[in-house]
Amino acid sequence: MSEALTQIPLDRFALVRTKSPEEMEASLVEAYEIHRFDVRQKEDFKGQANLVSLGDVSIGFCAYGAPTFVEFPEVNSAKWQLAVRGSGRVPSRSW
């Protein structure tokens, strides 16, 4: 497999790399203004977030080494979530 295919998405745009759930939460609060961050197995936690802004568009990537729940605020924009591994869910709300 080529090196390019094994790299983490947006790896050149690191926001945080940590084994501390508290540090991960603080970074996500600052970058995304998240409302909630819960980690079930804190002793196994590894987290990273990458973020790049391209004018009016920002692209982010987050990965966690333990089951994690993150609640992002509602925003007046489009949000697309793709679970590369594991599972992810974006709830839909009626306007």
Q: Which domain holds residue 35?
A: 3-71
- Residue type for 88, please? G
In a domain, 77, yes or no: no
Q: How many domains does the chain have?
A: 1
In a domain, 17, yes or no: yes
pTM, full prediction: 0.74
The strand pair at 57-64 and 36-39 is best described as unpaired
pLDDT in tens, 36-90: 999 988 888 999 999 998 888 888 888 888 888 888 887 766 666 666 667 666 6
